[in-house]
Amino acid sequence: MAKIGKRLAASRAAVEGKANLPVAEAVALVKANATAKFDETLEVAMNLGVDPRHADQMVRGVVSLPNGTGKTVRVAVFARGAKAEEAQAAGADIVGAEDLMAEIQGGKIDFDRCIATPDMMPIVGRLGKILGPRNLMPNPKVGTVTMDVAQAVKNAKGGEVQFKVEKAGIIHGGVGKASFDEAALVQNVKAFVSAVNRARPAGAKGTYVKKISLSSTMGPGVSVDVSSAVAE
């Protein structure tokens, strides 16, 4: 059995017996226990009452966190001509067409978000088996297939977070860094939860948001009072 270090043991002791906390208290507790030697990410996990195997119960979307994520996002854009120039001017890290496709097919995926103009989708479509499993496939539903590539690049770099429900009905996402102040983290958590709540699919029956937990990269999870998190 692996030995539990002093730092983790102390973190677990700090949250023991504490459950269903209001968002602000949960954020304060998780932030206080994010004591790793790097700036940990605060992550929200939501257990939803949906079965994503059914098309009418799929949950996906995008949210712009009011205080950003604190993460540097590398953006790749499939575009040509003027749109390629727009993407570069907006701060895209990689811009290309067939050349970018060849790089990805060769195993080089040096980006966190992929954006494409609609005319590039026949090329991007060939990369579905590579980008799809990595959740990098451009999709018009989350604004990554668009003619306004400049705005899409700015959104991606400015704190936009995509979310998609997994097979077990779980959605998770990073909502900021432990170095953020508590008020900023609370705002980000509520913005993320509200976006998922608004994305409730037509096929969802009964309780939609079952559980919410908050944790840091290296810390234990803390359960959050659902009503305090989904309140608009």
pLDDT in tens, 123-146: 999 999 999 999 899 999 899 999
CATH of domain 75-157: 3.40.50.790
> Nearest CA to 26 among 166, 172, 158, 186?
186
- Does the structure show a pLDDT above 60 at 2? no
> Nearest CA to 139 among 64, 62, 86?
62
Residue 48 and residue 171 in contact, taking contact as beta carbons nearer than 8 Å: yes
Specify the higher pLDDT residue, 77 or 16.
77
pLDDT value, residue 152: 96
Inter-helix orientation angle 149-157/81-90, to 10°: 20
- Classify 107 as helix, strand or coil: coil
Give start-end residues of each CATH 3.40.50.790 domain in the chain: 75-157
pLDDT value, residue 139: 93
Residue 61 and residue 196 in contact, taking contact as beta carbons nearer than 8 Å: yes
Q: Which own/partner pairs from 97-105 qualify as long-range (CB within 8 Å, at least 24 positions apart)?
A: 97/123, 98/123, 100/76, 101/126, 101/127, 104/130, 104/131, 105/130
CATH of 19-69+160-230, one of 3.40.50.2300, 3.40.50.150, 3.30.190.20, 3.40.50.1100: 3.30.190.20
pLDDT value, residue 62: 92
SS3 of the chain: helix, strand, coil, percent, to 5: 40, 20, 40
Q: Give residue-wise pLDDT tens across range 200-231.
A: 999 999 999 999 999 999 999 999 999 888 86
Question: What span, in angstroms and rounded, lies between the C-alpha atoms of 148 and 117?
Answer: 8
Specify the higher pLDDT residue, 226 or 6.
226
pLDDT value, residue 230: 80
- Does the structure show a pLDDT above 90 at 156? yes
- Does the structure show a pLDDT above 70 at 16? no
pTM listed for this prediction: 0.82
pLDDT value, residue 13: 55
Segment 162-183 mean pLDDT: 94
Give start-end residues of each CATH 3.30.190.20 domain in the chain: 19-69+160-230
CA dist 54 → 69, 164, 169, 202 (Å): 31, 14, 11, 11
Residue 7 and residue 36 in contact, taking contact as beta carbons nearer than 8 Å: yes
Q: Give residue-wise pLDDT tens across range 48-59.
A: 999 999 999 999
pLDDT value, residue 159: 84
- Classify 210 as helix, strand or coil: strand
